[in-house]
Structure 1
Amino acid sequence: MNALARRNPWLVVACGAFIVTLAMGVRQSFGLFMRPIGLDIGIGRDMFGLAIAFQNLLFGLVQPFIGALADKHGAGRITAVGALVYAAGLLTAASATSAFGLHLSFGVLIGLAMSATTFVTVLGAVGRVVPAEKRTLAFGLTTAGGSLGQFLVVPAAQGLLSELGWRSALIVMAGVVSLVFVLAAGIAGKPPEAEEEGPPQSLSAALAEASRHRGYWLLNAGFFVCGFHIAFIATHFPAYLTDKGLDAKVGAMSLALVGLFNIFGSYLFGAWGDRWRKNYLLSGIYTARALLIVVFVSLPLGNVTALAFAAGIGFLWLGTVPLTSGLVTGMFGVRYLSMLYGIVFLSHQVGSFFGAWAAGYAYDLTGNYDFAWGASIALGLLAGLVHLPIRDEGLVARPAA
Structure 2
Amino acid sequence: MSAIENPARVSPWVMVACGAAIVTLSMGARQAFGLFLLPMSGDIAIDRESFGLAIAIQSLLFGLVQPSVGAAADRHGAGRVIVAGALLYAGGLALAATVGSALGINASLGVLVGLALAGTTFVVVLGAIGRVVSEKQRGRAFGIVTAGGSVGQFLVVPFTQEIIGVAGWRETLLVLAGLMLIIIALARGVTGRAPRDELADGVDTGSWQALRRASGHSGFLLLNAGFFVCGFHITFLSTHLPAYLGDGGLDASIGANSLALIGLFNIFGSYYFGFCADRYRKKHVLTWLYLGRAGVISLFVLMPLSSASALIFSAAIGFLWLGTVPLTSGLVGQIFGMRHLSLLFGVVFMSHQFGSFFGAWAAGWSYTLTGSYDQTWVASIVLALVAAALHWPIRDTPVSPITATPARA
Say whether residues 1:385 and 2:368 are aligned partners: no
Partner of residue 82, structure 2 = 79
Partner of residue 130, structure 2 = 127
- Given residue 271 of structure 2, which amino acid in structure 1 is its aligned partner? Y
Query: 2:7 & 2:63 partners in 1: Cα distance?
Result: 32
1:300 counterpart (298, 301, 304): 304
- Given residue 228 of structure 1, which amino acid in structure 2 is its aligned partner? F
Q: By how many angstroms is 1:200 displaced?
A: 4.1
Say whether residues 1:226 and 2:230 are aligned partners: yes
Say whether residues 1:93 and 2:116 are aligned partners: no
Partner of residue 140, structure 2 = 137
Partner of residue 344, structure 2 = 340
Say whether residues 1:17 and 2:20 are aligned partners: yes
Q: By how many angstroms is 1:391 displaced?
A: 2.5
Cα distance 1:274–1:261, how it changes in 2: closer, same or farther (>3 A)?
A: same
Query: 2:360 & 2:52 partners in 1: Cα distance?
Result: 5
SS at match of 1:193: coil
Task: Determine what percentage of the aligned residue pairs are the same residue.
Answer: 58
Partner of residue 365, structure 1 = 369
Q: Deviations over 1:284-313 (max 9, x none)?
A: 111110111110000111011000000000
Say whether residues 1:189 and 2:192 are aligned partners: yes
Q: Deviations over 1:318-337 (max 9, x none)?
A: 00000000000011111110
- Given residue 150 of structure 1, which amino acid in structure 2 is its aligned partner? Q
1:29 counterpart (27, 32, 35): 32
Q: By how many angstroms is 1:82 displaced?
A: 0.3
Kindly indicate whether the alpha-carbon contact (under 8 Å) linking 2:128 and 2:193 is maintained by their aligned counterparts in 1: no
Partner of residue 281, structure 2 = 277
1:246 counterpart (240, 243, 250): 250
Q: Deviations over 1:10-42 (max 9, x none)?
A: 010000000000000000000000000011100
Query: 2:200 & 2:318 partners in 1: Cα distance?
Result: 35
Q: By how many angstroms is 1:397 displaced?
A: 4.7
Partner of residue 51, structure 1 = 54
Structure 1, unmatched stretches of 5+, are: none
2:108 counterpart (105, 110, 113): 105
Query: 2:193 & 2:311 partners in 1: Cα distance?
Result: 44
Q: By how many angstroms is 1:233 displaced?
A: 0.2
Structure 2, unmatched stretches of 5+, are: 403-409
Kindly indicate whether the alpha-carbon contact (under 8 Å) linking 2:8 and 2:191 is maintained by their aligned counterparts in 1: no
Kindly indicate whether the alpha-carbon contact (under 8 Å) linking 1:64 and 1:342 is maintained by their aligned counterparts in 2: yes
Say whether residues 1:165 and 2:168 are aligned partners: yes
Say whether residues 1:61 and 2:76 are aligned partners: no
RMSD, aligned α-carbons: 1.2
Query: 2:362 & 2:29 partners in 1: Cα distance?
Result: 23
Q: By how many angstroms is 1:387 displaced?
A: 0.2
TM-score, normalised relative to structure 1: 0.97
Query: 1:220 & 1:184 partners in 2: Cα distance?
Result: 28
TM-score, normalised relative to structure 2: 0.95
Query: 1:219 & 1:197 partners in 2: Cα distance?
Result: 28
Cα distance 1:216–1:167, how it changes in 2: closer, same or farther (>3 A)?
A: same
Query: 2:392 & 2:239 partners in 1: Cα distance?
Result: 30
Structure with greater proportional helix content: 1
Partner of residue 2, structure 1 = 6
Q: By how many angstroms is 1:203 displaced?
A: 1.6
SS at match of 1:129: coil
Partner of residue 395, structure 1 = 399
Partner of residue 159, structure 2 = 156
SS at match of 1:201: coil
